[in-house]
Copies of this chain bind each other. A is one copy, B any other.
Amino acid sequence: MRPSKRAPDALRPVSLERAVARYAEGSCFVKFGNTHVLCTASLEEKPPSWLRGQGRGWVTAEYSMLPRATLERTRRESTAGKPSGRTMEIQRLIGRALRTVVDLPALGERQITIDCDVIQADGGTRTAAITGAWVALHDCIAWMKARDMVKANPLKDHIAAISCGIYKGTPVLDLDYAEDSEADTDANFVLTGAGGIVEIQGTAEKTPFSEAELLQLLALAKTGCTKLVDLQKTAVA
């Protein structure tokens, strides 16, 4: 039995609220249960310096947690003087995932920065962030289309992400913090709307896992991401 009483293949209640940030070109407040992330898309009319003059745009992401998003207060990274290794790992993942569904030349020489700020954290912040970031990115691109800034549609597919893990011997979908801190194996999957795999990050915390277990987790992830993509479609419809 999961701590949340959910079935092994059940997502937490998910919501995707659009247009929550007054000034951003696109935004989404995403909730996976008690995990809440504010995603904003900011358009800049020039690409990063290392990309100048190449006729392509760029999509990047930054990730941060409010100090008291967590059970115990976490030290602010501006005070620590630099983002932690975990933060850098996550924001690199988000940016990489989004770029796989964007036609960068079609963006033109521009940069879109997706800021994912975790307001409350109950496990799965990176997967919620990716799922919400896609909505913010979609709306930013819609904003550009409304202003005739792009011709072809630069957004080629959906992207959604979910965590799976082996909790007390059972493969389960969408781990919350109570499960995550106990799970033997924890894996994050990023899938496209078409079902292609964009990223797998699976880690055995204690006991190595087998190929069979990996396939069980992947099957759960496909179920979960299909639902998340449906929710994205409803949200942006």
Contact = CB atoms under 8 A, between A and B. Distances in A.
Contact of A42 (B73, B77, B92, B208): B73
Interface residues of A, number: 67
A212 B231 CA distance: 27
A76 B80 CA distance: 13
Nearest to A209: B197
A226 interface: no
Contacts of A204: 100, 196-199
Contacts of A187: 200
Interface string A23-64: 110010000001000101010100000000000000000101
A119 B120 CA distance: 13
A218 interface: yes
A154 interface: no
A199 B40 CA distance: 32
Contact of A196 (B83, B201, B208): B208
Given A100-B208, A203-B199, A208-B197, A89 B85 contact: yes
Contacts of A34: 22
Given A88-B88, A197-B202, A115 B210 contact: no
A8 interface: no
Interface in A77-126: 77-89, 91-92, 96, 100, 113, 115, 117, 119-120, 122
A51 B83 CA distance: 23
Given A67-B62, A194-B208, A202 B203 contact: no
Contact of A206 (B80, B100, B115, B197): B100
Contacts of A149: none
B79 A81 contact: no
A11 to B, nearest CB: 19
A201 B92 CA distance: 13
B207 A120 contact: no
A66 B198 CA distance: 29
Given A38-B66, A200-B202, 7 more contacts: A67-B113, A67-B115, A78-B82, A84-B88, A85-B89, A100-B205, A201-B202
